[in-house]
Amino acid sequence: MSDLKKTVMTNWRWVMCAMLFFATTVNYMDRQVLSLTFKEFIQPEFHWTDSDYGTITGVFSIAYAIFCLFAGKFIDWMGTKKGYLWAIIVWSLGAVMHAGCGWVTESIVGLESKAALLEATGTIVSTISMVSVYLFLFCRLVLGLGEAGNFPAAIKVTAEYFPKKDRAFATALFNAGASVGALAAPATIPLLAKSLGWEMAFIIIGALGFIWAGIWIFVYDKPEESAHVNEAELEYIHQDEKDAPKQEAKEEKQMSFGEAFKHKQTWSFAFGKFMTDGVWWFFLFWAPAYFQDQFGIKASDPQGIALIFTLYAIVTVISLFGGYLPKIFVEKCSHSRLAVSTVLGQ
Count the helix, strand and coil residues of the chain and give each as a percent rounded to the nearest 5. 85, 0, 15
CA–CA distances in Å: residue 144 to residues 68, 91, 175:
9, 7, 17
DSSP 255: P
Give the dihedral sign, CA 40/41/45/50: negative
Q: Give exposure, 207-225, as e/b (b: 16+ Cβ within 10 Å).
A: ebbeebbeebeeebeebee
Q: Helices 124-147 and 50-78: crossing angle, nearest 10°? A: 30
Compute the mean pLDDT over every residue in the chain, rounded to the nearest whole number.
87
> Could you read off the pLDDT of 289-310 as tens digits, one per residue?
998 999 999 999 999 889 888 8
Q: How many CB atoms lie within 10 A of CB 36?
A: 32
Whether the Cβ atoms of residue 165 and residue 327 lie closer than 8 Å to each other: yes
Closest C-alpha among 130, 298, 100, 287 to residue 198? 100
Angle between helix 80-97 and helix 124-147 axes, rounded to 10 deg:
170
- C-alpha distance from residue 202 to each of 134, 181, 186 (Å): 17, 14, 13
Q: Which CATH number fits domain 8-231+295-320: 1.20.1250.20, 1.10.10.10, 3.90.650.10, 1.10.3720.10?
A: 1.20.1250.20
Query: Is the pLDDT at 313 greater than 90, yes or no?
Result: no
End-to-end Cα spacing for the chain: 42
* 271 alpha carbon, distance to own chain's centre: 19
Residue 266 has pLDDT above 90, yes or no: no
- In 3D space, the residue among 99, 328, 121 whose CA is nearest the CA of residue 196 turns out to be 99
- In tens, the pLDDT along 236-264 reads 999 887 655 555 444 556 667 778 788 88
pLDDT at 248: 45
What's the pLDDT at 268? Answer: 83
Closest by CA position to 31, among listed 141, 184, 143: 143
Arithmetic mean of pLDDT, 109-126? 90
φ and ψ at residue 225, rounded to 5 degrees: -105, -5
d(CA 209, CA 116): 33
| Residue 208 and residue 26 in contact, taking contact as beta carbons nearer than 8 Å | yes
Local structure of residue 99 (DSSP, 8 states): G
16-72 confidence digits (pLDDT tens): 999 999 999 999 999 999 999 999 999 999 999 999 999 999 999 999 999 998 999
Residue 343 confidence (pLDDT) above 90: no
Report d(CA 289, CA 304) in Å as an integer. 10
- Output 168 or 82, whichever has higher pLDDT: 82
Average pLDDT on 215-225 reads 95
Written in H, E and C, the secondary structure of 236-250 is HHCHHHHHCCCCCCC
Q: What is the DSSP string of 120-186?
A: --TTHHHHHHHHHHHHHHHHHHHHHHHHTTHHHHHHHHHHHHS-HHHHHHHHHHHHHHHHHHHHHHH
